[in-house]
Amino acid sequence: MARHDVPGDRPAEQPPDAGRDRRELIRLAAVELFARHGYRGTTVRAIAERAGVDPALVMYHYGSKENVFSTVIRETMRAEELLPELPRLLDEVADTDSADDPAADGTCPGGPGSRLLRGFLTRWEDAATRPSLLVVFRSAMEHPEASQLFREVAGGELLLPLARRIPAPDPELRAALVASLLVGLVTGRYVVPIEPLAGMELDTVVGLYGPYADDMLLGRLGGSPPPGRPGA
């Protein structure tokens, strides 16, 4: 049995990845427990036990359970983590400037909205990234502070950059509509699985929802003129 070189630490079996930074070990342990038990059902002591460290070390690195949780949400929702291809997708959205071009007007399957949808869902399909995403979404539903933090981070990392690149009327509304589509789809497919949606192949889901995402990004919204035709 190995001992951690932290005063007061109790003997613990050396974790397989003991060479990694302990702060990261604590974060990974927190992700696992938050995903399994939720925010309220997870304690600092449980996080420490799962990470193989003394609870005092958790407090030393993070100060509180709330700060551990905040770190998990912020790191999970970073654009480069949540959607690495976002810069390319934003360029595709911004380059769409003609409603008469069927390959670029965003109303046909395979438009920028569809590709944004596929990229986002691909992260959920990945067993390595899904636990962190589950922590964020489940906690945002049950914990007011988590919900507020989710809105702040998602707005700054995703919604605002997307709205700035949409070459169509009401860009903020369009970005919010796409976000609501993604949140609802993720909830019904991964967070609170609803069949047959939860069991569908990814290609089928994108084929069904993609055209709606395309329209929300670049198509006609109610009485709004299509992109490229102001006032039409």
Q: Splitting the chain (232 residues) into consecutive groups of 10 residues, what average pLDDT does each group show?
A: 39 47 90 84 94 93 90 76 74 61 44 90 89 82 79 83 90 93 94 95 95 90 53 42
Of 73, 98, 120, the position where a domain reaches its end is 73
State the residue range of the domain holding 192: 77-218
Residues 69 and 95 in one domain: no
> What is the amino acid identity at position 18?
A
Residues 110 and 7 in one domain: no
User: Do the beta carbons of residue 191 and residue 138 sit within 8 Å?
Assistant: yes
Residues 120 and 44 in one domain: no
Of 13, 38, 73, the position where a domain reaches its end is 73
From 97, 215, 88, 108, select the one nearest 161 (Cα to Cα): 88
User: Do the beta carbons of residue 37 and residue 65 sit within 8 Å?
Assistant: no
The pLDDT value given to residue 20: 53
How buried is 232 (Cβ within 10 angstroms: 0-12 exposed, 13-18 middle, 19+ buried)? exposed
For the CA atoms of 211, 216, 219, 224, the dihedral, rounded to the nearest 10 degrees, stands at 150
Residues 134 and 25 in one domain: no
The pLDDT value given to residue 185: 95
Within a domain: residue 228? no
CB neighbour list of residue 212: distance below 8 Å, 6 or more residues apart: 113, 181
DSSP 178-198: HHHHHHHHHIIIIIS--TTGG
Residues 65 and 84 in one domain: no
User: Do the beta carbons of residue 71 and residue 27 sit within 8 Å?
Assistant: yes
- In this structure, what CATH number is given to the domain that contains residue 81? 1.10.357.10
Instruction: Note the pTM of the prediction, 2 decimals.
Output: 0.69
What is the DSSP secondary structure assignment for residue 11, as one 8-state letter?
P
User: Do the beta carbons of residue 11 and residue 1 sit within 8 Å?
Assistant: yes
The pLDDT value given to residue 230: 45
Assign residue 102 a region (left: φ > 0; alpha: ψ between -120 and 50; beta: otherwise).
alpha
Element of type H or E holding 152: helix 144-154
The pLDDT value given to residue 81: 67
The pLDDT value given to residue 93: 80
Residues 56 and 28 in one domain: yes
Placement of tokens 């539903």 in the chain:
141
Residues 47 and 160 in one domain: no
179 vs 160: CA distance, rounded Å = 11
Residues 81 and 52 in one domain: no
Within a domain: residue 116? yes
- In this structure, what CATH number is given to the domain that contains residue 65? 1.10.10.60
Of 73, 95, 130, the position where a domain reaches its end is 73
Total number of domains constituting the chain: 2
Residues 90 and 185 in one domain: yes
The pLDDT value given to residue 9: 43
The pLDDT value given to residue 149: 79
